[in-house]
Structure 1
């Protein structure tokens, strides 16, 4: 093998291997130095930092899947939605806005509209916990690696993490002057542009700046105005300054801003809604036949007169200080983040709603939403870690986190009088505006009173209400994790965490209609709210296990860990104090995991078997108590998730690397808590039924091949195949059965690219193919027996990318 081939192959080997099992949270400089040395070594000598300290890959008793920046670039995966396909244990629930989207790990996650609940899967960016997972669902434009740690992680990370952690680490600046410029162009007028410059300002100070811009017209046709939707217009920048005055001190400053204006994400009519059957956007579907939903997965049209749109503004600043004194390293991370999100939502999903002088629901109703929200969070973490030099090693920390959120949400909708609600509104109006004989006369003949006011309640009578909501979270914790070498080949694993949570909320909803009339999804003035509440709770959770080196480069481990996610409230637009004012209790879990790891020269294999029992599972539960079925965040019951996970890396030849993973997961309901409001006997047990967004089987296999030529360029081939099993998108209903519309079909995905590299990869041009099989799929069933989210990658499309670097 010539020298150039050897160096390239070793670099590819390291990138792919570290992508399977790498974590970095602190110790960034040390890890990068080790990684540089590992370019000359093979799999069994790879060093990782998945437990916030430098360790051999075969010493990490933890199930973690990670994608490095070069893997992300090679896959041309631009956001978390794209990347979740490559991590078999992860599923992504796409909402109509980033704030309503969510991740699940091993079938467990929290999907909620509430602003007073936290996710089961914690999202961390550069050591900073995100208050809402949607903050991290933006573009990936400066990423060093993304790590998915499965199972409870409270003894290692500052914030609650009952189901897992998605840890995103961005790139550090270099001392050498480097830079890159990359562009991507795709069909349907989509482009992305990124530029980076990095280098030393002095011997002790280095800095980097990355800027990004992307735009896409969209892939959905709105037949109402002949425009494309479900596109985006985004830009962002990240500046990093690294100060290293000595080998034992580093200070890192990160500043970031990001803005997105997306006409996304319109719900598609995958099953016939009956709202506008003559529209050219009506689906090609027979509806639900013999209990099976005939979903039109080729649907790419809508007929909407109100554009669904999301506007996001993020800003962030953090400071991380790492100081080594003697045998210990001390770390401080201080961070402030803000997020402004404005949601515009088409809620009637048709262009003919609200025009008829007929009462609903005989005529199509109008429903349009506008909901701005602001988040502001501050966090501080201190920790200390030993240097792994003796039989006893540990990491311990103190964490504080505060988040304030304010949201107002206005709904304009057709007046609703299908059950005589107009009489109720007029009675309320008369009692508040009349007295004496005038009041008596009005109440004696409400129809005449309505005529005298010129008041009706038809589809074209638009009423509205606005909800003003706020929440505050205060969380502090003390955590620690350690190991003790019982013998040279056996280690004891242990950890402990104490958590203190406080959650408070306010909710005030005001009917804006002069007469206080009810609308479709608009509560009347008689149901205006002015509520507040708070809850505090503490928790002590732990981790214990054992790790045994069974042979050279082979290890087995077994762990038991406890997870905890704090309490909350179901605070949303149509908040009902009687039902939603009740505290949602904490979600706790008990997780067992057995693992095997092998890291040889040309083969890396990781195997994990797990089972987790969750009590007080926080989920959207069906409530049909008032005649209209809605989902309400509650402690839905107890669930169990169990399964097997495999990660594989094989250096098949000097130029061919294969890597992949598979997860077989059974996430099922053990015990179901019927909603308090549901009448006795009308709610059945759901034991044994699936938890939403938990496909039984999911796997991926990728290959990268380097072909060297004698013509002044090399050729890089990359391909990946992903399979995702069918999965439900909702909990089963009160009768104990699933809505057939909520079953999302299985799908296959094949992506590929070929790149020509010139001058030792100083310049590369790549041809990109997405979804070569053209296998369409839906990521989410949104409700109403017809609404679905079908992503951009559900179509086959092509692109070209250019990258230059120095």
Structure 2
């Protein structure tokens, strides 16, 4: 154990003592617990069948959809503030965003690599991480399954799963309209209608959203705002129940998003760069850029799925068929000062680089499952899965250099990936005794992957950011196995303990990108993992208190990671089998209802994610002395605390007061441990006051974000001579008001 072992021991020991006390309290049911109500029971589908959160032998965080809406957390990057085990990497547009769980995630824009954390929406796997940057519409809950989930959720779940579950259509007719306005001219309007089209047989629901935000970064050229967005979306659902044994759900969604993601100058070590940046000055709280061509990202996410569930003699047969499209266009200025050809300060040292990239991705998937009857000696879930993905991309780079005169050169690459994945899987729970269960599961996966790539250039030799023309193609196939073994024991009627071993597998990959070179044409080997996890879940005082504790240790071999290198004078990322990494730690989740007016919740994660053995690629330009270093986007401690108080008022009105606090320790954002890419520890305080009337169907809330006015970075990107910062929405204190009318 490393030097942090004392902290781990404290967390683990405290958690075990507390959980043991809960088990005893559950048996004795303390009579003087007060007049509070029980903590609400939460149903999850983490085991591919509905079960109580407190009963599943998995570490799972659950976030309520209604609470997210009320807190202005309407996208994945804001949801992770409530999940200490998760972090989110923002850089550029949706294509460059990545989710991390327990410090593990894959940073790559290549279409030939899978995410390490799988996103599943209503049973449909999203194959590309950029698809997960969606607006959250009509969400019932979000389940974050922590640790490898390859047995039941597939090969791109080697670090965890983000399982998003939407609300089913209501039988009762009704609708709603809600609107919100926040400082900074952020607006959001939603409207929905639902009800029975044929009572008892057919129900439908449609929800639409319009939202936009000017941004919180000022472009000094013109004085306008950037780093904002505009979204237009609609989601429809039909739930068909022709008889008591059959349910059919048809879901369709469409979201168009336009944004202007921007990075600001954070630090600089070059006098020439500082002069070129003027009048903008690099600093930790800089919220200005100097760009005559602002970044622009256009995104269209759409899909349709059909889920059939048929029950027969206690068995449940499930079929999920889905088709999804993702179209993405990114226009980004990658020069340090954000200028183009008509700006006199463009020089050979600071060229203006304009990138234009498009993504056209389509996936088709089919999953078949059978779940055995419950309360049998052996209960199981088994199934088959198939996913086909086709990606076509173009990327053009225009580079302008000069001192007294300017010169423009360009390159263009056309490339893509075709992938097919087949799987058979199953997991069983063997009830060996009333209080003892054994767990066993396995998954067989077959991957077939092919790529093609062609680049043209205006020059036959490399120039800043562009390599000469080239053309290549290749294909590979692999067979992999994953699985899970474990034991679960009920310590008391309201307390259970479990221990599991999981084998993870993430398929082969190709590093296909604009500046792809002959050295990138070889396929990366699959990534595998071995994970050990133990946990205790308990409740006490008539379920007015629940505590869940999890300990984990996971080792990854052939870890697929981005290695920063220099190509044609520009820093690029090369996807490599980086070697061996590991993550270990402890997690505690607590919920309490000391009275029927007070609700408390807290979550704490300690994560030690490190590089064990880094394999330096041949002829690498960057240093590889990384053994023992911390993985990026993995703070050692991260926590979230929330308190809510409900106060009944006259005439059927209620007042709800809530506040939350999220905190994380210093975070390294650079794999190569740059001291300039470290975000110091920080905490964010939010609060809200809501008035509601159940009789009138009204809800009005005042929301305050980042009340302590703490500036921070969600990513720090290093380059030669300077560092840029990704500015989050709540980088400054702001307030807003929301109103909702139900009818």
Fold conserved between structures, TM > 0.5: yes
1:392 counterpart (367, 371, 378): 378
**TM-score normalised by the chain length of structure 1:** 0.84
Query: Counterparts of 1:443-458 in structure 2 under 5 Å?
Result: none
Rounded Cα–Cα distance in structure 1 between residues aligned with 2:564 and 2:211: 39
Query: Counterparts of 1:264-275 in structure 2 under 5 Å?
Result: 265-272=261-268, 274-275=272-273
Rounded Cα–Cα distance in structure 1 between residues aligned with 2:614 and 2:582: 12
Matched, 1:383 2:383: no
Query: Cα–Cα, structure 1 residues 623 and 518, in superposed 2: closer, same or farther, change >3 Å?
Result: closer
Rounded Cα–Cα distance in structure 1 between residues aligned with 2:522 and 2:87: 30
Match of 1:604 in 2: 546
Residue 470 of structure 1: how far off its partner (Å): 0.8
Query: Cα–Cα, structure 1 residues 668 and 46, in superposed 2: closer, same or farther, change >3 Å?
Result: closer
Asked whether the 8 Å contact 1:74–1:718 carries over to 2, the reply is no
Query: Counterparts of 1:246-257 in structure 2 under 5 Å?
Result: 246-257=243-254
Query: Counterparts of 1:49-60 in structure 2 under 5 Å?
Result: 49-60=45-56
Asked whether the 8 Å contact 1:625–1:678 carries over to 2, the reply is no
Residue 684 of structure 1: how far off its partner (Å): 5.0
Residue 529 of structure 1: how far off its partner (Å): 1.0
Matched, 1:235 2:175: no
1:160 counterpart (145, 156, 161): 156
Rounded Cα–Cα distance in structure 2 between residues aligned with 1:57 and 1:70: 18
Query: Cα–Cα, structure 1 residues 241 and 353, in superposed 2: closer, same or farther, change >3 Å?
Result: closer
Matched, 1:572 2:572: no
Asked whether the 8 Å contact 1:152–1:163 carries over to 2, the reply is yes
Match of 2:293 in 1: 306
Asked whether the 8 Å contact 2:53–2:60 carries over to 1, the reply is no
Asked whether the 8 Å contact 2:333–2:339 carries over to 1, the reply is no
Match of 1:350 in 2: 337
Query: Cα–Cα, structure 1 residues 609 and 358, in superposed 2: closer, same or farther, change >3 Å?
Result: closer
Matched, 1:532 2:518: no
SS of residue matched to 1:83: helix
Matched, 1:224 2:221: yes
| Cα deviation 1:135-167 (Å, max 9, x = unaligned) | 121211221111110111122224531111001
Rounded Cα–Cα distance in structure 2 between residues aligned with 1:612 and 1:281: 48
Asked whether the 8 Å contact 1:752–1:770 carries over to 2, the reply is yes
Matched, 1:322 2:318: no
| Cα deviation 1:277-316 (Å, max 9, x = unaligned) | 26555335xxxxxxxxxxx231110001211011011110
Match of 1:402 in 2: 388
SS of residue matched to 1:256: strand
Query: Cα–Cα, structure 1 residues 625 and 244, in superposed 2: closer, same or farther, change >3 Å?
Result: closer
Asked whether the 8 Å contact 1:331–1:383 carries over to 2, the reply is yes
Query: Cα–Cα, structure 1 residues 606 and 43, in superposed 2: closer, same or farther, change >3 Å?
Result: same
Matched, 1:647 2:589: yes
Rounded Cα–Cα distance in structure 1 between residues aligned with 2:93 and 2:489: 46
Query: Cα–Cα, structure 1 residues 45 and 727, in superposed 2: closer, same or farther, change >3 Å?
Result: closer
Query: Cα–Cα, structure 1 residues 270 and 622, in superposed 2: closer, same or farther, change >3 Å?
Result: same
Matched, 1:340 2:338: no
Rounded Cα–Cα distance in structure 1 between residues aligned with 2:463 and 2:128: 31
Rounded Cα–Cα distance in structure 1 between residues aligned with 2:48 and 2:717: 39
Rounded Cα–Cα distance in structure 2 between residues aligned with 1:353 and 1:236: 33
Rounded Cα–Cα distance in structure 2 between residues aligned with 1:740 and 1:346: 25
Matched, 1:752 2:687: yes
Rounded Cα–Cα distance in structure 2 between residues aligned with 1:208 and 1:303: 45
Rounded Cα–Cα distance in structure 1 between residues aligned with 2:473 and 2:404: 34
Asked whether the 8 Å contact 1:625–1:677 carries over to 2, the reply is no
Matched, 1:467 2:413: yes
Structure whose alpha-carbon radius of gyration is higher: 1
Asked whether the 8 Å contact 1:218–1:231 carries over to 2, the reply is yes
Residue 48 of structure 1: how far off its partner (Å): 4.3
SS of residue matched to 1:156: helix
Match of 1:510 in 2: 456
2:463 counterpart (519, 535, 557): 519
Asked whether the 8 Å contact 2:465–2:570 carries over to 1, the reply is no
1:557 counterpart (498, 507, 514): 498
Rounded Cα–Cα distance in structure 2 between residues aligned with 1:195 and 1:628: 47
Matched, 1:707 2:647: yes
Residue 354 of structure 1: how far off its partner (Å): 3.8
| Cα deviation 1:519-541 (Å, max 9, x = unaligned) | 32122xxx211111111111112
Rounded Cα–Cα distance in structure 2 between residues aligned with 1:400 and 1:700: 38
2:63 counterpart (67, 70, 77): 67
Match of 1:445 in 2: none
Query: Counterparts of 1:366-381 in structure 2 under 5 Å?
Result: 366-381=352-367
Query: Cα–Cα, structure 1 residues 504 and 653, in superposed 2: closer, same or farther, change >3 Å?
Result: same
| Cα deviation 1:171-218 (Å, max 9, x = unaligned) | 110111021111000112110000111100002101000000001111
Asked whether the 8 Å contact 2:37–2:595 carries over to 1, the reply is no
Match of 1:365 in 2: 351
Matched, 1:500 2:437: no
Match of 1:214 in 2: 211
In structure 1, list runs of 5 or more residues that go unmatched: 1-39, 285-295, 417-456, 733-737
Rounded Cα–Cα distance in structure 2 between residues aligned with 1:173 and 1:93: 34
Query: Cα–Cα, structure 1 residues 271 and 359, in superposed 2: closer, same or farther, change >3 Å?
Result: closer
Rounded Cα–Cα distance in structure 1 between residues aligned with 2:113 and 2:435: 43
Residue 774 of structure 1: how far off its partner (Å): 0.6
Match of 2:21 in 1: none
Query: Cα–Cα, structure 1 residues 331 and 724, in superposed 2: closer, same or farther, change >3 Å?
Result: same
Match of 1:802 in 2: 739
| Cα deviation 1:600-627 (Å, max 9, x = unaligned) | 3201110000000001111111335877
Query: Cα–Cα, structure 1 residues 281 and 547, in superposed 2: closer, same or farther, change >3 Å?
Result: farther
Residue 629 of structure 1: how far off its partner (Å): 4.5
Match of 2:430 in 1: 484
Query: Cα–Cα, structure 1 residues 458 and 544, in superposed 2: closer, same or farther, change >3 Å?
Result: farther
Asked whether the 8 Å contact 1:44–1:599 carries over to 2, the reply is no
Rounded Cα–Cα distance in structure 1 between residues aligned with 2:723 and 2:590: 39
Query: Cα–Cα, structure 1 residues 768 and 359, in superposed 2: closer, same or farther, change >3 Å?
Result: closer
SS of residue matched to 1:461: strand
Query: Cα–Cα, structure 1 residues 625 and 346, in superposed 2: closer, same or farther, change >3 Å?
Result: closer
Asked whether the 8 Å contact 1:414–1:459 carries over to 2, the reply is no
**TM-score normalised by the chain length of structure 2:** 0.91
Rounded Cα–Cα distance in structure 2 between residues aligned with 1:460 and 1:661: 56
